Chains A and B, each alone.
Chain A
Amino acid sequence: MVDGFSMLQRAALVPTLNDNVSRFRTLLHADVNSDAQFRFIECAGTRLCVLYIEGMADDRKISDFILRACVEHATEQPRRIDAAYLMEKVVEIAQCEAEQRVSEILDSVVTGMTAVLIDGCDEAVMLETRGYPARQVNRTTNESVVIGAQEGFVESLRTNMTLMRRYVPCSDLITECVSVGTQVPARVTMVYLGNVADSAVVDAVRRRLKGIDAGTVQGLGAVQQHIEDQPWALLPQILQTERPDRAASCVMDGQVVVLAENSPYALIAPITLFHQLHASDDSFSRWQYGTFLRLIRIIGMLISVFLPGLYIALTDYHMHLLPLSLLGSIAEARANVPFPILIEILIMEFSFYLINEAGTRIPQQIGSALGIVGALILGQAAVSASIISPILIIIVAITGLGNYAIPDYGFGIGLVICRLFIIACSAAFGLYGFCIGAFVLSVSLCGMKSFGFPYMAPVAPPRPHNPDLLVRLPIWLQKRPMYFAALKVSAHGRRG
């Protein structure tokens, strides 16, 4: 059966309408699929079959601009209609093309396009009639900014491509479509600036996308896992963003953006660690504010990874490194706590992420209740019951806040795992273990690559770059795109 299907798909159309229709009926399982529509009409004496999927295609477009146009088309005498004639004289839809291959027609029809099969012609006319319900462009949910554009990507690929076009109104913007997945093909689009992006990078992205040999690829999350340089690494080497303005800014820096149907966000490659610490606000704010916020974020990241490990190393092994008054406070607070500090930290970390995960899944209406239960009741009760020391709650709270300051969600989760690694090292060997953990982490980061570019560049190794890395200097000093761009010309037209 599968072989028969494959043969049908690989074949081309024949000039007999009934044969073509029966072939599509088989391929679309029309005997059981009630939404596969085959509408027979006559146009100037030639029989046509309009093929579409109900719900995916816009009924109004089909009836007004295809069916009515065909039926009402009159010629002085009956004539043989072919695809070219139909496109030129009859149908009133802007985007159309002739197609012979059955597999291509089938792929287009299931995504909402309409095929018009013509009796006596071995070509079908494919018409753009996609009109399925989709979410309107709305505010971003995970990457909120105070200043700047508020709209985010949606599930419709077409809308997302339009958003990119709006933000980068340039004839060099290329939107290249790639079909991904062997069994259920997914539409994926690469977006880049033809004269800015390095062709080697574009080729690498294209090659990796085409090299995905999975049967099905569920959205960009799966695409990301298939094309990353090091899938075993803890931190992502491809940036995810739901903000078209951020994606557009990366495109202008010479990076490649990948969009996909049903994915309300974009992938950006290549990237460095520093991209994951930047937020859109930085660009919209004055450089002093942008720099300040970015430094806060970097400190937040360092606190998030290292603070609990350092706390455990100092309080468990190197008490002499703490000022006496602080040591006294800690000892007093922990006097009645029955657990070692490691257990105490793990309980708090686990509770924190339990509340976090529950908060993500819980219906919005009862979200505030979770905050009350988590923060107030549990925290207060744990301290009163001497399960947790108050100082540890402060440590874990600051750590959590540091983690939330990181704009990239995946990067934040990766850092949590790094933090647990540092905690384990510190718990085992104190400051010696802490240093070993941090050292391994730094070498691992330096060994990572994103599409062949070092992850820690332009710091390690040094690369020419804009003064927009850890601190953000004034906009007029930023003269060049990222170092991985092919074109070294600034947004102001000066040579960098």
Chain B
Amino acid sequence: MIVLKLNISRIASIPAAFVGATIRIFLDLALDGGTIHNGAWIAALLSALPSIPYLLCLDAVQSDKRMAIPLRFMLLSVTALDAAHVLSICVRAAGCLTLDYVPAHFLALPLALAVLWCVWRNGDAVGYAAILWIRVFPVLLLLVVTLQMRHYNARWLLPLLGNGFPDIIRSGVRASGWFIPATAIYYVTDRSGDKSGRRPLSAWLSFAPAVAALLLILRLMMAPAGLYGLTWEARLDALLTNGRAPLYLQLPMMLVFFFSAFHLLTCECFAASALLQRLAPALDGRLCAAVVTVACTGLSLSGFTVTAVDFIAPWLYVAVAATAALSSLLQGAPKGGERPCNG
């Protein structure tokens, strides 16, 4: 018997997707994508361009159609993999702070349990929490900016193009790929109550790269790009310690970082669990969430995600967008079966 059907209303899924996409683009360009360069914020803005056709496809594809199964499977794999990667980011960040003596599985376990609990609360809870975060985030960001104000240096944004156009385009395409797992939550939205004329997801999510770009500009003005860019830990340290600001001012930045990452992780885990339930409707939502969370935790602790994410990131956009386009086309093609014959 199905006790929990994982679903999310549209009003909750769009903010969740927005928060997820913003944070994912930021994390990719500021932490994961190798040395951060001055053009990172331009890359964030550029990532919107290839994403829009994908998001339009996502608006068009009806998740309950059989033709969406390949896309569903693809999204599930990518979202679960990225959730595992975000989990490992959180664990590594916690270790980098003061818990470096704690084994990674001890750090991953409480977070995995917390995420499991949150997913069990179902999609609306996750989405409404994202709305709450959208309200609180600017307040904390304002605090960060105020504390850091004297240390920002606009000259560190120069040279504007950083390592040049090829690097910006490469980063932009890579960042646009992260729209896919971050917005997967929209794919499992309950659209039964949708009214025509409502603004689609693509319109809302165009803001996500802009916000990510703003955050990257702030980050780039904290410390010169490349100064701390040698290792992932150094980049994280530069991000959390506000560059040159006194250490005690980094508290709000740490709160912003962890809460944002937790929201992204929960959105992705929820989306993956809901996708799994769509693929295997006989499974209870609680079981799906448990399977996904355990799988993500295992993947994250195996260390596989870092190399896997690095490998798939440049191709992610092309692969999933092609599948989405194919699903969309096949749905639109005239055929018998489910489609009514009244034209």
Residues of A within 8 A of B (CB): 314, 317-318, 320-323, 425, 428-433, 435-436, 438-440, 442-444, 446-447, 454, 456, 459-462
Q: Is there an interface contact between A439 and B97, defined as CB atoms closer than 8 Å? A: no
User: Assuming the A-B contacts A320-B247, A431-B254, A461-B11, are A454 and B132 also in contact, with contact meaning beta carbons closer than 8 angstroms in the complex?
Assistant: no
B263: nearest chain-A partner, CB-CB: A439
Q: Are B107 and A446 in contact (CB under 8 A)?
A: no
Chain B residues 84-124 with CB under 8 Å of chain A are 90, 93-94, 97-99, 102, 107, 110-111, 114, 117-118, 121-122, 124
- Complex contact A443–B118 (CB within 8 A): yes
Q: Kindly identify which residue among B11, B121, B258 contacts A431, using a CB–CB cutoff of 8 Å.
A: B258
New contact pairs (4) apart from A317-B97, A432-B258, A443-B266, CB-CB < 8 Å: A431-B251, A431-B254, A443-B126, A461-B12
Which of A314, A318, A447 counts the most B-chain CB atoms under 10 A from its CB?
Answer: A447
B94 touches A439 (CB 8 A): no
Of all A-B residue pairs in the complex, the 5 with the closest CB atoms, nearest first, are A447-B125, A447-B121, A446-B128, A435-B258, A460-B131
Is the pair B248, A323 in contact by a Cβ cutoff of 8 Å? Answer: yes
A-B interface contact total, Cβ < 8 Å? 106
Contacts of B132 in A (CB 8 A): 442, 446, 456, 459-460
Given A443-B121, A461-B11, also A429-B94 (CB < 8 A): yes
- In the bound complex, do residue A439 and residue B107 qualify as a contact, i.e. CB atoms below 8 Å apart? no
Contacts of B62 in A (CB 8 A): none
The residues of A that contact B94 with a CB separation of less than 8 Å are: 429, 432
Q: Flag whether B250 is at the interface (Cβ < 8 A).
A: yes
Does any Cβ of A come within 8 Å of B150's Cβ? no
Are B129 and A459 in contact (CB-based, < 8 A)?
A: no
* Contact call A429/B131, Cβ cutoff below 8 A: no
How many Å from the CB of A430 to the closest CB on chain B?
6
Whether A444 touches B255, Cβ cut-off 8 Å, given contacts A317-B99, A436-B111, A462-B131, is: no
Q: Which residue of B lies closest to A457 (CB)?
A: B128
Neighbour of B110 across the interface among A317, A318, A323, A433, CB < 8 A = A433
User: A446 and B247: CB pair below 8 A?
Assistant: no
- Contact between A321 and B131 (Cβ–Cβ < 8 Å)? no
Residue of A with least CB distance to B258: A435
Chain B proximity of A461: nearest CB distance (Å): 5
> Which secondary structure dominates chain B's binding surface?
helix
A-B pairs with beta carbons under 8 Å apart, 11 shown: A318-B97, A318-B251, A321-B254, A429-B107, A431-B254, A440-B114, A444-B117, A447-B121, A447-B122, A447-B125, A456-B128
Query: What's the Cα separation between A195 and B132 when bound, in Å?
Result: 33
Chain B proximity of A338: nearest CB distance (Å): 23
Instruction: Give the number of chain B interface residues (Cβ < 8 Å).
Output: 38
- Contact A439–B98 (Cβ < 8 Å): no
Q: Which residues of A contact B263 (CB under 8 A)?
A: 439
* Cross-chain contact A430 with B97 (CB below 8 angstroms): yes
Taking CB atoms, residues of chain A closer than 8 Å to B97 are 317-318, 430-432
Inter-chain contact B259/A461, CB cutoff 8 Å: no
Let me know if B262 is at the binding interface, CB within 8 A: yes
A435 contact set on B, CB distance < 8 A: 254-255, 258-259, 262
Return A170 CB to nearest CB of chain B, in Å.
34
Chain A residues, Cβ within 8 Å of B128: 446-447, 454, 456, 460-461
Query: How far is it, in angstroms, between the C-alpha of A318 and the C-alpha of B129 when the chains are bound?
Result: 27
Distance of A321 Cα from B254 Cα, bound (Å): 10
Complex Cα spacing A160 to B208, Å: 54
Q: Which residues of A contact B125 (CB under 8 A)?
A: 443-444, 446-447
The answer to whether B135 has its CB under 8 Å from any CB of chain A is: yes
Residues of B with C-beta under 8 A to A447 = 121-122, 124-125, 128
Q: Whole-angstrom distance from the CB of A444 to the nearest CB of chain B?
A: 7
Residues of chain A within 8 A (CB-CB) of B90 are 432
Of the candidates A435, A444, A456, the one having the most CB atoms from chain B within 10 angstroms of its own CB is: A435
A321's partner among B93, B117, B129, B250 (CB-CB below 8 A) is B250
Q: How far is the CA of A488 from the CA of B123 in the complex (A)?
A: 29
Q: Is B124 touching A454 in the complex (CB atoms < 8 A)?
A: yes
Contact status of A429 and B129, CB under 8 A, knowing A440-B118, A443-B266: no
Question: Which residues on the A side are within 8 Å of B99 (C-beta)?
Answer: 317, 429-430, 432
Within the complex, what minimum Cβ distance (angstroms) separates A272 from chain B? 12
Q: Which residues of A contact B251 (CB under 8 A)?
A: 314, 318, 321, 431
By the criterion CB–CB under 8 Å, are A430 and B98 in contact? Answer: yes
**Nearest A residue (CB) for B121:** A447
Residues of B within 8 A of A322 (CB): 248
Chain A residues whose C-beta falls within 8 Å of the C-beta of B126 in the assembled complex:
443, 446
Question: Which of A428, A430, A459 has a CB less than 8 Å from the CB of B131?
Answer: A459
Instruction: Tell me the bound Cα distance from A428 to B111 in angstroms.
Output: 12
Chain B residues, CB < 8 A from A460? 128-129, 131-132, 135
Q: What is the distance, in angstroms, from A218's C-beta to the closest C-beta of chain B?
A: 31
Inter-chain CA distance A321–B97, complex, in Å, is 11
Given contacts A436-B111, A439-B118, A443-B266, contact A321 B258 (CB under 8 A): no
* Residues of B248-281 whose CB lies within 8 A of A: 248, 250-251, 254-255, 258-259, 262-263, 266
Of all chain B residues, the one with the shortest Cβ separation from A442 is B129
| A residues near B122, Cβ cutoff 8 Å | 447
- Scan residues 189-216 of chain B and give those whose CB is less than 8 A from a CB of chain A: none
A283 to chain B, nearest CB (A): 25
Interchain CB contact under 8 A, A446 and B129: yes
Chain B residue at minimum C-beta to C-beta distance from A440: B114
Which A residues are CB-close (under 8 A) to B93? 432
Task: Name the B residues within 8 Å of A443 (CB-CB).
Answer: 117-118, 121, 125-126, 129, 266
Bound form: Cα–Cα A317–B126 in Å: 29
Q: A321-B248, A429-B94, A447-B121 are in contact. Are A436 and B114 (CB under 8 A)?
A: yes
CB distance from B329 to the nearest CB of A (A): 34
Question: What residues on A are CB-neighbors of B117 within 8 Å?
Answer: 440, 443-444
CA distance A320 to B121 in the complex (A): 36
Residues of B within 8 A of A454 (CB): 124, 128
In the assembled complex, which residues on chain A have CB atoms less than 8 Å from the CB atom of B124? Answer: 446-447, 454, 461
A321–B252 CA distance with the chains assembled, in angstroms: 10
Distance, CA A462 to CA B250, complexed state (A): 31
A462 to B90, CA, bound (A): 30
Among A322, A428, A442, A454, find the residue whose CB has the most chain B CB atoms closer than 10 A: A442
Whether the Cβ atoms of B107 and A432 lie closer than 8 Å is yes
Say whether, besides A321-B248, A429-B110, A439 and B131 are in contact (CB < 8 Å): no
